[in-house]
A and B are shown apart, each in its own frame.
Chain A
Amino acid sequence: MLELRNVSFAVNDTEEKEIVRNLSLTVESGKFVVITGPNGGGKSTLAKLIAGIEKPTEGQIFLDGEDITGLSVTERAKLGIGYAFQQPVKFKGIRVFDLLKIASGQAISVNEACVYLSEVGLCAKDYIEREVNASLSGGELKRIEIATVLARKTKLSVFDEPEAGIDLWSFQNLVRIFEKLQKETQDSSILVISHQERILEIADEIIVLSGGTVEQMGTRDEILPKILGTEAAASSCARLSDRRD
């Protein structure tokens, strides 16, 4: 179980700006929680605060009752927090297989690594030896990013806009991945940042974040009808037409 207690995060550019304000929320074990809300509402910052990439200026974060506020990214990863970047990182010389091996934390075989690639819809033999660099497309990098989180088998997996850059066919695949991930790891929780109606539809709980704090929070049936058609829950077509404007 993940718990955030009165968490704030401020940055100091020319003047102090609070990106997350006095935010409290709980992600119960075994739950699939989707965080949505307008752009600039603090969603990605919240994901980074959970992974330890940013440290809160105030408040505390607990994982299974343990205060992890002061722990590093590595320590949190070892305690069981997985984090899929919104913008996947590119390397020089590190292969897809290397990354999956590091993620799984053990000397896995090529065959085992291939299973994770197949799950994200990539033909394993074409990718396993490829370098994780700019020769891969944005969509391919994104799927490999998701595969690295699958390989970790963590108790809490955080995905920051996993659907960004992925086409509609694999979008369906993505929904299936989340369902499978939950089934396979007992009591594991998934926290996804997304505006996508189709991801919101499979959530147990939905949190609407706006202005750096929780605007609404509740079960899918409570929240989804209230936000449908707004920026917080756009259908794929609506989002595409937004982009054309």
Chain B
Amino acid sequence: MLQMDEIQKRLLSEVSGLHDVPTGAYNLRANGVSAGRQSTANIEIESKKDVSGLEIAVKDGTKNESIHIPVVLSQSGMSETVYNDFHVGADCDVLIIAGCGIDNCGSQNSEHDGIHRFWIGKNSKVKYVEKHYGSGDGSGKRILNPVTEVYMEDGSSMEMEMVQIKGVDSTDRRTKAELGADCHLVVRERLMTHGVQEAISVYEVNLNRDGSSADIVSRGVARDRSYQKLDLKIVGNAVCSGHTECDSIIMDEGRILAVPSLEANSVEAALIHEAAIGKIAGEQLTKLMTLGLTQAEGEEQIINGFLR
């Protein structure tokens, strides 16, 4: 195994499901330094020269390969900004698993800001999974402010799964995508905030050429006194179709602001948005209670299902 302590191993397992060295290309970053890296014949990972971060190049025609780039932070007071650039060639089909786990037992804030940029070549398919997780009972905050930018060439598609379920005190997520002709972008975001956490998630997706489409669904649960702001924007500049959906459950004294917005700059743009915020439906709880669950167990099942 890579050189990591038990806390780092636990964080790694939470954000990437990894217990050991992954197969394929990977770079593991622990407390600000690379703890292990591997390139493959088709995927090259190199450190950036000017700033902290990686240059990742995927050769044309690379199929069924994966890239893991997890980050773990277990040192209180650590603050870093990392720039990772992905250059995916044409006709590829790859899986990219990122994610950051922070454990902060100290009194100073720990922060990781990952700036990820993707250039996706013609007719390529990319699945991107990003999980964020925080733990530790120190008074220092766990902060994650990821920026994701996607530039898609004609005929390419990308599926993004963004998950932040637990333990991140403050997050400000910015995601931007530019789509070419016949490109498809699917985003599934799941956010849960508790305590006094704050999460802001902003999307701007530009459908620039004919035949492009985007489907962005964000599901959130705000518990205790936490706050979420979801701002999903799709801009249709051509013959295109776009759909955004903000679906949120609010509990306790949680607050949620949903700001779905659509901009059509072509009469051929077909854009739809949906937004709903509400508490857990009473009849759902009642049904689960008639099956023998307590109210708290029922709520847990409903939230687990909702965020699946």
The interface of chain A, by Cβ under 8 A from chain B, is 51, 53, 72-74, 77-78, 81-83, 85, 89, 91-95, 98-99, 102-103, 105, 131, 148, 152
Contact of B290 with A83 in the complex, beta carbons under 8 Å: yes
Residues in chain B near residue A103, CB distance under 8 A: 291-292
Verify A152–B292 contact, CB threshold 8 A: yes
Q: A74 CA to B296 CA in the complex, in Å?
A: 11
CA of A148 to CA of B292, assembled, Å: 11
- Having A83-B290, A91-B305, A102-B293, one finds 6 other A-B pairs with CB under 8 Å, namely A72-B289, A73-B289, A78-B292, A89-B283, A92-B305, A98-B305
Q: Are B302 and A94 in contact (CB under 8 A)?
A: yes
Tell me if B107 counts as interface (CB < 8 A to partner A): no
Min CB–CB distance A128 → chain B (angstroms): 15
Shortest CB–CB separation between residue A147 and chain B, in angstroms?
Answer: 12
Q: Give Cα A99 to B287, complex, Å.
A: 10
Most buried by A among B288, B292, B293: B292
**7 examples of A-B residue contacts, CB within 8 angstroms:** A77-B292, A92-B247, A93-B306, A94-B302, A94-B305, A102-B291, A131-B305
Q: Is the CB of A74 within 8 A of B305?
A: no
Assess A77 versus B289: contact at CB under 8 Å? Given A89-B284, A91-B284, A102-B301.
yes
Complex contact B291–A148 (CB within 8 A): yes
CB distance from A139 to the nearest CB of B (A): 18
Q: In the complex, what distance in Å separates the CA atom of A81 from the CA atom of B289?
A: 11
A72 to B289, CA, bound (A): 9
4 interchain residue pairs of minimum CB distance: A93-B305, A94-B305, A73-B289, A77-B292
Residue tally, chain B, CB below 8 Å to A:
21
B307 interface contact, C-beta 8 A: yes
Question: In the assembly, what is the distance between CA of A95 and CA of B294, in Å?
Answer: 19
Q: For A72, what are the chain B residues with a Cβ–Cβ distance below 8 Å?
A: 289
Q: Does B295 contact A (CB under 8 A)?
A: yes
Smallest Cβ-Cβ distance to A152: which chain B residue? B291
Q: What is the chain B residue whose CB lies nearest that of A77? A: B292
Give bound CA distance, A93 to B294, whole Å.
19
Separation of A92 and B302 alpha carbons in the complex (Å): 8
A148 to B293, CA, bound (A): 13
- Given known contacts A78-B292, A92-B305, A93-B307, is B287 in contact with A85 (CB within 8 Å)? yes
Asked whether A73 and B301 contact (CB < 8 A) given A89-B283, A89-B284, A93-B308, the answer is no
B290 touches A51 (CB 8 A): yes
How many Å lie between the Cα of A152 and that of B288 in the bound state?
A: 12
Contact of A102 with B305 in the complex, beta carbons under 8 Å: no
Chain B contacts with A in 275-304, Cβ cutoff 8 A: 281, 283-284, 286-295, 301-302, 304
CB distance from A98 to the nearest CB of B (A): 7
Question: CB-nearest residue of chain B relative to A51?
Answer: B290
**Shortest Cβ distance from B304 into A: residue:** A93
Q: How far is the CA of A99 from the CA of B283 in the complex (A)?
A: 14
How far apart are the CA atoms of A78 and B289 in the complex, in Å?
9
Give Cα A92–Cα B219 distance, bound, in whole angstroms: 11
How far is B305's CA from A82's CA once the two chains are assembled, in angstroms?
A: 23
Residues of A within 8 A of B281 (CB): 89
User: Complex Cα distance A53/B289, Å?
Assistant: 9
Query: CA–CA, A89 to B306, complex, Å?
Result: 15
> In the bound complex, what is the Cα–Cα distance between A77 and B285 (angstroms)?
13
By a CB distance below 8 angstroms, the chain B residues around A77 are 289-292
Expressed in whole angstroms, the minimum distance between the Cβ of B165 and any Cβ of chain A is 13
Chain A residues near B286 (CB, 8 Å)?
53, 73, 89
Which of the residues B283, B295, B301 comes within 8 Å of A94, measured between beta carbons?
A: B301
- Check if A98 sits within 8 Å of B301, measured CB to CB: yes
| Nearest CB in chain B to that of A151: its residue | B291
Which of B284, B289, B294 has the most CB atoms of chain A within a 10 A radius of its CB? B289
The docked-state distance in angstroms from the alpha carbon of A91 to that of B294 is 17
Bound: A152/B307 CA distance, A: 26
Expressed in whole angstroms, the minimum distance between the Cβ of B274 and any Cβ of chain A is: 13
A53-B286, A89-B283 known; A74 vs B293 contact (CB < 8 Å):
yes
* Shortest distance from the beta carbon of A145 to any chain B beta carbon, whole Å: 9
A98 / chain B contacts, CB cutoff of 8 Å: 301, 305
| Cβ-defined contact, B292 with A74, below 8 A | yes
A118: min CB distance to chain B, Å: 20
* B residues near A78, Cβ cutoff 8 Å: 292
Q: Which of A74, A95, A99, A152 neighbours the largest number of chain B CB atoms within 10 Å of its CB?
A: A74
For B302, list chain A residues within 8 Å (CB): 91, 94
In chain A, what residue has the closest Cβ to B283? A89
CB-CB under 8 A from B294, the residues of chain A are: 74
Query: A131 — which chain B residues lie within 8 A by C-beta?
Result: 305
Residues from chain A with a CB closer than 8 A to the CB of B283 are: 85, 89
